[in-house]
Amino acid sequence: LVTKINADSRVSLIGVVRATYGLDCTWTAAVDGVNVPFNALTPTAQSFSRVAVRNNFAYGLLVPGSTFVPGSSVTFRLKANFAGDNNLYAAFSEINIKVNAAPSGGSVDVNPPSGSALSTPFVLSTAGWTDDAEDFPLSYQFQYQTLASQQLLNLQSRSPANKVSANLPAGHSSSGNAVILVCTVFDASLAAATLSTTATVTENVAIDVTQYVNDQLSNFDSVGDVNTV
């Protein structure tokens, strides 16, 4: 059995043991076939009395997220043996878990690289992403900010579309009128990778900002799509 999880997800496993004698039980993990130490939120080794395990007894393991490297394959093993003798009546069960890696290898581009605020249509696009076949289809979110300290604002919520066209506000003169453009790509399990680029956007004094905002709100009322605002 192979299960796939995102790297930041917790691993929660339940093993069931049963015997007519006391048991020593141990959880171990091997990454790509090599045993590795790991931190767990529950004990990884415990002894149980004959009374405790005479019926099916659940012995769980909880591992915090971000413990294993994305893209690795982890084999968790629950071993049980006669209490006090590591080799007597030893038995084990395993489960293989693949740690999902985010999409990689992509690029993000903006065209044109410079223009005027609220009038130049900037096209932000991304391409070239690779991932495991079972992690497709990919989806894309595009955002921007005029200063790195500011909150990111949406140009396009997560969508199958790998490009978006939008008018942008002017960048701050303190940063050379640069507007930061951010693309986040998600796989089918929502593991995500982020790339950014910049566009130089200068103020357009010919634009009536109040009228522009009113026009965009009117467009939203008629279309019902927040990405059009």
| pLDDT for the residue numbered 217 | 59
| pLDDT for the residue numbered 12 | 96
| pLDDT for the residue numbered 221 | 55
| pLDDT for the residue numbered 103 | 98
| pLDDT for the residue numbered 205 | 80
- Provide CB contacts within 8 A for 5, sequence distance 6+: 11, 97, 98, 99, 100
Residue 78 near residue 26 (C-beta atoms within 8 A): yes
Which phi and psi (to 5°) does residue 146 adopt? Answer: -90, -15
Mean pLDDT by 10 residues, the chain (229 residues): 87 97 98 94 98 97 97 97 97 96 98 96 98 97 96 97 96 96 97 98 79 61 50
Say how far residue 75 (Cα) sits from the centre of its chain: 21
pTM, full prediction: 0.83
What domains does the chain contain, in order, with CATH numbers?
2-100 (2.60.40.10), 107-228 (2.60.40.10)
| pLDDT for the residue numbered 228 | 46
Distance CA 119, CA 97 (A): 50
β-strand partners of 116? 202
